[in-house]
Amino acid sequence: MTARRLHLCGDAGAVLVFVVLLMLALVGLGHGLLVASLGEVAASSAGARHLTARGAADGVVSAALRKPFAAWMDSVPVGGARVTETISFGRAAGAATLRRLTRESWLVEGRGAFRDGADVRVARLAWSLDPLERVTELPGVLSAAPGSVWTIDGVVDAGAPARVDPPLDAADCAPWLVDLEAGYATLLPPAGVLTDTVDAPWLGLLDFPSLLARAPVLVSGAGTPGPVEAFGACVEVAPWGWGDPEESGRPCSGQLPLRASPGGLSVVGGVGQGVLAVDGDLTLTAGARYYGLVVVRGALRLEDGASLDGFAVALGGGSVDAGSRVRGSACWAVRALAAQRAELGGLVAVPGVGPIGPL
């Protein structure tokens, strides 16, 4: 009897061992599941941290590219860098650094960092108009696209582009005078041909649609510009109020506006200064006087005693009739562009390049 019960107990023991082994297997499976789950959670968390950091880096670069021109950008030397933007993106922080590569070329570096050290860097190449660079790169006082012709029966003075003539004085051109004198050490031709240009107005990455979009006031048709004053102040939004270059001390003498025309434009008499962009043909006639930089997609015609002090870019070429005059003044052109830094100097992502990386 005792042996039989022991035998039965032996059977029960085998079952118990079997059950215990089964339980161990189940526990093992459970641990395996737990480890796999923890691994997935860890991988997903790492992915989320990385994506958050990258979002912060991308976001801060986009924010830097949307910002308007800042005056401190001119103080950054070529090769120098400065932090320009910081943002928070979830639990990540982003910081953008502007690194100046050339006078007009910038690298916008974005760095996104998560608390635990996840770190992502992205960079984009950007461009910002530099007045001095733009003007000194022009091949002549009058510049045209390849194949276009200038007919000059009047006077085009290209003898001393860096010279400061009245109504300007040296103080008006002081920030650029040294560079201009160095840049025009060699002779500048009256008329030059733009290289590698089909429809760009030689303002770097600013094409005509960009110029028109950035101009605060558009003009069209024909008109006579002149200073517009009210209550002792200059009315800067008047479409044909183009400043007062010949009367220093007047309210509009410091107004160098950007005016743009979506089509052909005729300026009949009057006086003005600044940057004039015309998406068509431009005619200065009846003694019209303009000081600054003229950018024309079509042809530029000066006739009937008209005058231009500054530089002109006309992709379609043009003519300077007898009795009309162009005086090549780099100071006027640079000064006019510099007055528009807020409108034209913002960073533009260089197209066709993509991100600079991996960094």
Q: Which of 17, 18, 83, 146 binds other proteins (CB under 8 A)?
A: 18
Tokens of 102: 């050339």
Smaller CB separation from other proteins, 18 or 222: 18
Residue 19 interacting with other proteins (CB under 8 A):
yes
DSSP 228: -
Q: Least distance to other proteins from the beta carbon of 81, Å?
A: 9
- Which of 152, 350 has the CB closer to other proteins? 350
Residue 358: is the preceding peptide bond cis (ω within 30°)?
A: yes
Q: Which region among 26-34, 150-158, 279-287, 308-316 touches other proteins (by CB under 8 A)?
A: 26-34
Record the tokens describing residue 72, joined without a space: 């401190």
The CA distances from residue 31 to 25, 34, 39, 40, 45, in Å, are 10, 5, 12, 14, 21
Among positions 51-110, residues that touch other proteins (CB under 8 A) are 79, 99, 101-102, 104-105, 107
Residue in 20, 22, 83, 237 binding other proteins, rule: CB under 8 A:
22
Tell me whether residue 32 or residue 216 sits nearer to other proteins (CB atom). Answer: 32
Please identify which residue in 3, 12, 170, 171 interacts with other proteins, judged by CB under 8 A.
Answer: 12
Please answer whether residues 312 and 109 qualify as being in contact, where contact means their C-beta atoms are separated by less than 8 angstroms.
Answer: no
Burial code (b: 16+ CB inside 10 Å, e: under 16) for 204-230 equals bebebebbeebbeeebeeebebbbbee
How far apart are CB 226 and other proteins at their closest, in Å? 37
Alpha-carbon span 319 to 31, nearest angstrom: 87
DSSP string, 139-189: SSSEEE-TT--EEE-SEEE-S-TT---TT--HHHHTTTHHHHHHHTSSPPP
Footprint of other proteins on 207-266 (CB under 8 A): none
Q: Is 32 in the site for other proteins (CB under 8 A)?
A: yes
For residues 127-186, which are near other proteins according to CB under 8 A? 127
Nearest to 159 by CA among 179, 188, 191: 188
Give the whole-angstrom CA distance, residue 261 versus residue 281.
10
Q: Does 41 bind other proteins (CB under 8 A)?
A: no
Binding residues for other proteins (CB under 8 A) = 1, 4, 8, 11-12, 15, 18-19, 22, 25-26, 29, 32-33, 36, 39-40, 43, 47, 79, 99, 101-102, 104-105, 107, 123, 125, 127, 204-205, 349-359
